[in-house]
């Protein structure tokens, strides 16, 4: 898969100092996890699933989850399973052919027994586009069984399948059980590190356990009980950089009224060099605010600041902003390369003369930046996410990008 493949060659050359690479599905685990980007969830009951995957791949989606769990009613499980199996078979025979390549497709199950059953119904040929399974409400009890089921499913089709556990159960967030529960999860994912692509966060379930739901004017980091849980998840499960933890779901669409003024600054838009005029850039900012995407932008920035990569999304309109915000700036890239240029330690001033780069403490950060650079590319000097977002929206308006 390759990010921003829907942009033409001239636009790619204009925007990127280093364009996004094509990321193989069987390549480095942490690089592939980084490249998941905005993972779009679709209910397994949705009609024309295979067609949707084609459409969203053309729109820049590089990972999708076909959900058989919370997004469908208990009475719809059998029909959803049949629908997902039919869609995967159709995609195996007619995979997406856009420049982005075949997206990483996962099935979110509600019970471990569904994993071997679905793979048996697909067969090796029908599972050709299946990348793996999402394991909800993952914890020590049942976690080993889920990971073992994915391993057996891999053996059934003759190639590896990924597992993505979701942390969203009471033991993970309840203060008196959290540390023990997360340490048990870490032991499990360490044991199965070659199977676990990324660890996902179930923010909606975690909020629901306390009768909470964040308002569209807030980010998940404004919900103290969930914010504290995220900090511990990063502390225990992401420590050392061996495992990627993804950002929680953004669940809002546009709404007509808002309580708070947007915190999305005007300056980056007004100063955007590759947007068609200052007025057009300001109009783009206004459109983002009216669609509530400014809050999503803020949350993605906070995700990255707190050690999370990627995002779970539930609408195609979220994807361009998430991906634009993951492109590496020229300054980040220069600092990361300088930090990794030697392993003797010490301190060097940034070439931007605005910070010190400590070669030891900043090394893991630099490695993560270079993975992101390979997956999402590096901007040219002076450009920001605004230029990438503008180019993505222009491509959509021109009809080269299809969404919805």
- Please give the full DSSP string across 169-212, using - where no structure is assigned: SHHHHSHHHHHHHHHHHHHHHHHTTTTB--BEE-HHHHHHTTT-
CATH number given to 9-266+289-327: 3.20.20.60
Please name which of 89, 130, 87 lies closest in space to residue 107, comparing C-alpha atoms: 130
**CA-CA distance, 12 to 23, in Å (whole number)?**
17
User: In the prediction, which pLDDT does 162 show?
Assistant: 98
Contact (CB, 8 A) for 300 and 294: no
What residues contact 216, with CB distance under 8 A and at least 6 apart?
252, 255, 258, 292, 295
Please give the helix or strand (H or E) that residue 250 lies within, else none.
Answer: strand 246-250
**CA-CA distance, 350 to 339, in Å (whole number)?**
9
User: In the prediction, which pLDDT does 58 show?
Assistant: 86
The two structure tokens encoding residue 176: 């008196």
Give the CB-side neighbour count of residue 151, counting CA atoms within 13 A.
12
The two structure tokens encoding residue 288: 């983002």
**CA-CA distance, 20 to 1, in Å (whole number)?**
10
User: In the prediction, which pLDDT does 395 show?
Assistant: 81
**CA-CA distance, 236 to 224, in Å (whole number)?**
18
What is the 3-state composition of the chain as percent helix, strand, coil, each rounded to the nearest 5? Answer: 50, 15, 35
User: In the prediction, which pLDDT does 100 show?
Assistant: 63
User: In the prediction, which pLDDT does 288 show?
Assistant: 56
Sites in the chain below the pLDDT cut of 50? 256-261, 290, 400-404
**CA-CA distance, 154 to 17, in Å (whole number)?**
39
How is 2-55 classified by DSSP, letter by letter? -TTTTS-HHHHHHHEEEPPPPPPTTS-HHHHHHHT-EEEEEETT-TTHHHHHHH
Please name which of 288, 273, 252 lies closest in space to residue 382, comparing C-alpha atoms: 273
Backbone angles phi, psi at 389, to 5 degrees: -65, -40
Interior/surface letters 306-337, b for 16+ CB within 10 angstroms, e for the rest: bbbbbbbbbbbbbbbbbbbbbbbbbebbbbbe
What residues contact 179, with CB distance under 8 A and at least 6 apart?
232, 236
Q: What is the pTM of this model?
A: 0.89
Contact (CB, 8 A) for 113 and 7: no
Q: Per-domain residue ranges for the chain?
A: 9-266+289-327
The structure tokens 């977002």 sit at 389
What residues contact 317, with CB distance under 8 A and at least 6 apart?
253, 291, 293, 403
Number of H helices, E strands in the chain: 17, 12
């Amino acid at each position: 898969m390759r990010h921003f493949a829907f942009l033409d060659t001239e636009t790619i050359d204009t925007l990127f100092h280093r364009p996004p690479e094509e990321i193989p599905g069987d390549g480095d685990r942490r690089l592939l996890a980084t490249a998941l980007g905005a993972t779009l969830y679709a209910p397994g009951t949705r009609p024309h699933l295979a067609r949707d995957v084609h459409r969203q791949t053309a729109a820049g989606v590089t990972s999708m989850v076909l959900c058989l769990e919370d997004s469908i009613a208990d009475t719809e499980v059998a029909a959803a399973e049949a629908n997902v199996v039919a869609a995967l078979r159709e995609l195996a025979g007619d995979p997406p052919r856009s420049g982005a390549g075949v997206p990483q497709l996962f099935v979110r199950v509600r019970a471990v027994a569904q994993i071997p059953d679905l793979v048996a119904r697909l067969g090796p040929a029908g599972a050709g586009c299946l990348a793996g399974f999402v394991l909800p409400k993952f914890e020590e009890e049942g976690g080993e069984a889920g990971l073992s089921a994915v391993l057996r499913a891999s053996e059934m089709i003759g190639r590896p399948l990924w597992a993505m556990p979701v942390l969203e159960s009471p033991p993970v967030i309840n203060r008196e059980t959290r540390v023990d529960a997360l340490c048990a999860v870490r032991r499990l994912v360490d044991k199965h590190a070659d199977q676990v692509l990324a660890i996902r966060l179930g923010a909606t379930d975690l909020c629901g356990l306390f009768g909470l739901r964040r308002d569209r004017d807030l980010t998940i980091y404004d919900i103290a009980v969930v914010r504290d849980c995220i900090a511990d998840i990063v502390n225990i499960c992401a420590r050392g950089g061996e495992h990627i933890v993804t950002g929680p779901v953004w669940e809002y669409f546009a709404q007509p009224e808002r309580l708070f003024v947007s915190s999305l600054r005007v300056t980056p838009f007004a100063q955007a060099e590759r947007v068609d005029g200052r007025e057009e850039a300001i109009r783009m900012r206004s459109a983002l605010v009216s669609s509530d995407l400014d809050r999503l932008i803020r949350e993605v920035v906070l995700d990255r600041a707190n050690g999370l990569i990627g995002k779970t999304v539930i609408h195609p309109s979220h994807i361009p902003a998430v991906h634009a915000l993951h492109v590496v700036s020229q300054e980040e890239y220069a600092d990361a390369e300088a930090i990794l240029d030697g392993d003797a330690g010490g301190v060097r001033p940034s070439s931007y003369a605005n910070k010190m780069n400590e070669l030891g403490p900043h090394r893991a950060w630099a490695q993560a930046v270079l993975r992101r650079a390979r997956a999402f590319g590096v901007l040219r000097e002076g450009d920001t996410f605004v230029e990438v977002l503008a180019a993505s929206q222009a491509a959509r308006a021109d009809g080269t990008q299809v969404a919805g």
